[in-house]
Every structure is written in structure tokens, then in C-alpha cells.
Amino acid sequence: MKTIDDYNFNNKRALIRVDFNVPLDEDRKVTDANRIEAAKPTIIKILEDGGSVVLMSHLGRPKGKESKYSLQHISSKVSEVMGVEVKFVEDSIGEEVEKAANALQPGEILLLENLRFHEEETNGDEDFARNLSKLGDIYVNDAFGTAHRAHASTTVVAKFFEDKCFGYLLAKEIKSLDKVLNSTEKPVTAVLGGAKVSSKITVIENILDKIDHLIIGGGMTYTFIKAQGGHIGTSLVEDDKQELALEILKKAKEKGVEVHLPVDSIIADSFSEQASTQTESVDNIPDGWMGLDVGPETIRNFSNVIKNSKIILWNGPLGVFEMDTFAQGTIQLGQAIAEATKNGAFSLVGGGDSVAAVKKFGLEDKVSYVSTGGGAMLEMLEGKSLPGIEAIKN
Ligand SMILES: Nc1ncnc2c1ncn2[C@@H]1O[C@H](COP(=O)(O)OP(=O)(O)O)[C@@H](O)[C@H]1O
Ligand SMILES: O=C(OP(=O)(O)O)[C@H](O)COP(=O)(O)O
């Protein structure tokens, strides 16, 4: 496994894929810089070698050039964390970008605009990747959170480089997750919540062989509840995943995996901190209302399962924890996991927002391992090889 320790970057320009997909507030201020801090050791090593750095990342899932997803919003935070004034360029390919990259002096950092402003990024377009490759001498992948995406900057670009390697973060994540993969302790409990229903629901099917309990919460809940005939009002749902949800429940039963779904929800009449709220049975949400957190009975049930688990994997908040009104489920689940960890369980938390939640509620040091990747962590635990990792190995 080639890492940046195998290279001296003196007078070299590194093109680094980082995952700076960080949570932002309404004023587009970074609310959790964990993923930026996690990439710091790699960037600093290259600068200290006497090299320069071109950073590329995506932010969110923009449809075209949406200014709210500009990486300019995070540029000052990157400067602050690195202790170096970062230069920013308003695109990720093209003449202007190449000029800015060529002008970099040793010790300098250039941050590119959001890669996903070009649809060629997510399409894994070869020409786009070739254009990106012109920006550096050595390609470094340190974007663990995006290693499960076969995109131009995470995978395709690697083939245009003789010299390519893993950054410190990616190497550390691979090693740490391997440890969990090789563990034989039981029972294993996976907690899945959050909002990315379609990308994560498919993962569930594949981890069923590796777990004993499956706790479902957050936005993921309502696709399951609706599929079972429940009323979910205007809660987050992905209708085309209902059949898969039923299949998962059936398969789980066959495999002896206990599935724990919420029984009650904190519902709201709008997606807002000021909304009217109520506690309601999870399958009886009136029209015009949406479930934004799990209810008290659900929290008790989930905590009991957690208490008896030996390995706990958590990705996805149980509610819209960014708003205090809907944070209780996530807080109390986090506390139950911290308690179980104190009593000897191994707990692994991953995902941009999940880690932000854990940090916000002061639980970061009370869990065993915090991964920068959510979907990437889950896919690795499925036993899949991730395209971003394979591209460097080959
Ligand atoms: N019931 C819900 N309805 C809508 N959004 C939710 C709900 N529960 C949690 N969320 C949102 O899910 C988001 C995190 O989802 P996701 O990106 O899948 O997690 P992670 O980044 O940890 O992998 C949070 O911003 C949170 O507000
Ligand atoms: O935040 C991310 O993943 P996560 O929500 O699984 O932690 C990564 O930046 C990947 O983003 P994507 O799921 O839009 O490809």
C-alpha cells in the first residue's frame, strides 16, 4: 500500500483529492471542520517536504453551478486549519486553473471550485479526469468519505499518473476498519439513520450477514413504515425503495437478524425549529406533518439493544439534530453508545453529519473510533473493495 511516506515532495506539486464535504449553516459557515482537520497531516507533510498542493473536493450534491455549494465558502476555514493562506480558483479545470496551479510556489496551497459543478465528475468522464491530471505531478487520494464513488477525481484520474498514493487519512481508515472486519465479537449492532436513503438502503441488504441487530432511524425510517402500510404524512420517503425495504425485512428475518424500527416519532408541521410539534405513533402521522426525530419509547427500545451489544456501527443521525427540538433521539442514542463503550463494547461512528453530531454533543472521545466516511465505511464493512482505493492499488 503506497502512502505519501513513500515520496519526497520537494519541488513537486501534489494533486490531492480530499473530502471537504462538510456541514454548513444557513450563512454558509462551516459548522464542523472535522474532515478538513483530518486531511491536515497529509497536506502539512507535503508542504514541509518543500512541495505545493492543489486540493480538489466536492461539496453537497449540486445540480449544476449552485453558488450555495461553492467551495469558496470553506476556503477561509481551510486557511485557518492549515495555518497557510489558501488560494482559491473559480473552476476545477481549464486554462485559468492550470495557470494558477503552475504558479504555485513550494509551501503554497490552491483550492479548486466544487468538482460537482461539472457533471463529468460524477459521470467519471475520462476527458475531465485527464484535465484534472494536468494540475499535479503526483496524485494523492485522501478522501475516504468519497472512496466508494467511482468518480473522475476519486478513481479515473489515477490512471493518468505514474506516481500515486494514499494520504495518511485514507491509509489510517483502511487499517482501522480492517480491525473491525476481522473481529469475531458478538452481538454486532448496526444503527442506520440520516437522509441519504437511496444510497444507504442498498448497503443494508449486504451487511445483514455480518450483524445480529439492525436499528433503523432518521429519515430512513419512513420508507420502511410506508412500505408496511403506515401513514407517514410528508416525512422523507423514497417511494421507489419501498419494495427493497420489504425485501430487507424479509431477508433479515430469514437470516435471524433482529430489526428494530421506531415505534413513535416527534412530528412537526413544518421543517423548522419554530414548527408545532407532537409525539405520534410512527405509522399514524397526519397529512401535512412530518417525522423529524424518534420518540421517547423508541429511544428506550434502541438504548436497550445498544446496552447489550459488543460491536456497534453507527451511521446517520436519528433525527434532524441540527435543530435542538429534534436532537433528543441522536443525543440519547449517542449517550447509550458511549455507555456501552465504557462497559467494553467497540463502537464505530462514521459519516460527515454523524461525526458532526457526535462532536456537537461531546461524545467524540467516548466512542472507540470515528471515521470520516459514512457510506464509504458501510461499503467497506460489507466487504466491498472501494473504487477509490482500488485505483491507487492498481
Ligand atoms: N427524520 C428525518 N427527516 C429528514 N432529515 C433527517 C431526518 N433524520 C435525520 N435527518 C438528516 O440527515 C442528515 C444526515 O444524513 P446522512 O448524510 O445520511 O448522514 P452522514 O453524513 O452521517 O452519513 C442530517 O442533516 C439530518 O438532519
Ligand atoms: O458525505 C459524504 O458521505 P456520507 O454522508 O456517507 O458521510 C461524502 O462526502 C460522499 O458524498 P455523496 O454521498 O454525495 O457522494
DSSP 243-273: HHHHHHHHHHHHHTPEEE--SEEEEESSSST
User: In terms of pLDDT, which residue wins out, 386 or 199?
Assistant: 386
Overall average pLDDT of the 271-300 stretch: 98
17, 20, 21, best to mutate for ligand 2 pocket (most atoms within 8 Å of CB): 21
pLDDT band at 288 (very low <50, low <70, confident <90, very high): very high
Given this model, what pLDDT does residue 126 score? 98
Given this model, what pLDDT does residue 179 score? 78
The CA dihedral of 345, 350, 353, 358, to the nearest 10 degrees, is: 30
pTM: 0.93
Q: How many CB atoms lie within 10 A of CB 18?
A: 30
Output the residue whose Cα is nearest ligand 1's atom 27. 320
Given this model, what pLDDT does residue 317 score? 98
Give the integer Cα–Cα distance in Å for 194 and 108. Answer: 37
The residues annotated with a catalytic role in the active site are: 35, 196, 352, 375
Cα atoms in the 13 Å half-sphere on the side-chain side of 273: 5
Burial of 26 by CB count in 10 Å (0-12 exposed, 13-18 middle, 19+ buried)?
exposed
Overall average pLDDT of the 60-83 stretch: 97
CA of 134 to the centre of ligand 1 (A): 36
Q: Which ligand 2 atom is nearest residue 21's CA?
A: 9
Give 37's contacts (C-beta < 8 A, 6+ positions apart).
Answer: 81
Mean pLDDT of the chain, nearest integer? 96
pLDDT band at 248 (very low <50, low <70, confident <90, very high): very high
Q: Which position has the grid cell 501534489?
A: 14
Output the residue whose Cα is nearest ligand 2's atom 7. 351
Query: What pLDDT digit, counting tens, does each position of 83-113 carry?
Result: 999 999 999 999 999 999 999 999 999 999 9
pLDDT band at 46 (very low <50, low <70, confident <90, very high): very high
Given this model, what pLDDT does residue 383 score? 87
Ligand 2 site, CB within 6 A? 19, 21, 61, 145-146, 149, 196, 199, 351-352, 373-375
Given this model, what pLDDT does residue 9 score? 98
Given this model, what pLDDT does residue 183 score? 84
Q: Which residues pair with 170 in a beta bridge?
A: none
Instruction: Answer left, alpha or beta for residue 28, where phi above 0 means left and psi between -120 and 50 means alpha.
Output: left
**Between β-strands 109-112 and 52-56, what pairing exists: parallel, antiparallel or unpaired?**
parallel
Q: Please say whether the beta carbons of 218 and 318 come within 8 A.
A: yes
Q: Please say whether the beta carbons of 306 and 337 come within 8 A.
A: yes
Q: Is the pLDDT of residue 362 over 80?
A: yes
Query: What pLDDT digit, counting tens, does each position of 122-168 carry?
Result: 999 999 999 999 999 999 999 999 999 999 999 999 999 999 999 99
For residue 386, what is the DSSP state? P
CA of 375 to the centre of ligand 2 (A): 6
Instruction: Answer left, alpha or beta for residue 126, where phi above 0 means left and psi between -120 and 50 means alpha.
Output: alpha
**Between β-strands 346-350 and 311-315, what pairing exists: parallel, antiparallel or unpaired?**
parallel
CA of 340 to the centre of ligand 1 (A): 23
Q: Is the pLDDT of residue 394 over 80?
A: no
